Amino acid sequence: MTSTDQVKPKTASTPERAVARNHKARVREESIERILDAAEQLFAEFGYHGVTLKDVAARVGVSSTLIHYHFNGKESLYEAVWARRAPISARNRLEAMRRYAEEVGDKVTVEGALHAWIDTDLNVQIHDTEQWIAFGKISAQANSAAGWGAEKMTKYFNPVVLALIDLLKKAMPDCDEATIFWGYHFVSGAMTHNMARTGRLDELSHGLCSSDDFISIRRHMARFMAAGFEAICRGSAAEG
């Protein structure tokens, strides 16, 4: 038998290798998604400091080695949870405010600006609850925590806040900037308090109202907050 007659070892064809690579990539992506889903639920329930990587592994039903394979520690995993959701929220709210500004031109109102900023996030709490309830609770925790919480809010949401401030300045050109920022401070706290879904309202109202009733929150919140903005701006002008 000549060298040319020797049987060459059979190797997978290029299409077969591509299929294998795609399958491997799909399995990896699905594994990461399961880990992120579990981590998101746990961080929502127990907060950043109340969760360990072992907790996440147990919730997923895998070894903690797999968690370490995909993520470089708990902070890396927590950041991945934020990176999966926060940019979507920021992008959607910026787009809503851009559309509102285009529609009304120079007729911006406080309530209209707040609807654009508020309702976009409320809508996903109504229509896409499986994906967003947990992250809403995580953002509520972050918005009331100095240090690590403020860092996340700053990293992902500063452009959204400043876009709202710009709209409010157009709606209230005679209001001083500091008062507008105070108004934002109050509305931001109320917004993330809603996201926390604490159930406190249910207890106080003996079931008349529910902290899960985001349809009612959407109906009332922008109007209520707009009245507050306008009141403190009038008060600031009278004092100044």
Considering the domain delimited by 85-239, tell me its CATH architecture. Orthogonal Bundle (1.10)
| 3-class secondary structure, 147 | coil
Distance of CA 67 to the CA centre of its chain: 23
Q: How many CB atoms lie within 10 A of CB 137?
A: 21
Let me know the angle formed at the C-alpha of 230 by 174 and 184, rounded to the nearest 5 degrees: 90
pLDDT tens digits for range 217-238: 999 999 999 999 999 999 887 8
Residues of the chain with CATH 1.10.357.10: 85-239
pTM score, whole prediction: 0.85
Amino acid at site 100: Y
Q: Taking each helix axis from N to C terminus, what angle separates 129-143 and 74-104, rounded to the nearest 10 degrees?
A: 100
- E strands present in the chain: none
The secondary element (H helix, E strand) that includes residue 34 is helix 14-46
pLDDT mean over 41-47: 97
| 3-class secondary structure, 137 | helix
pLDDT tens digits for range 167-202: 999 999 999 999 999 999 999 999 999 999 999 999
Residues of the chain with CATH 1.10.10.60: 13-71
User: Hey, which CATH number is domain 13-71, 1.10.10.60, 1.10.8.10, 3.40.50.1100, 1.20.1250.20?
Assistant: 1.10.10.60
Residue 151 confidence (pLDDT) = 96
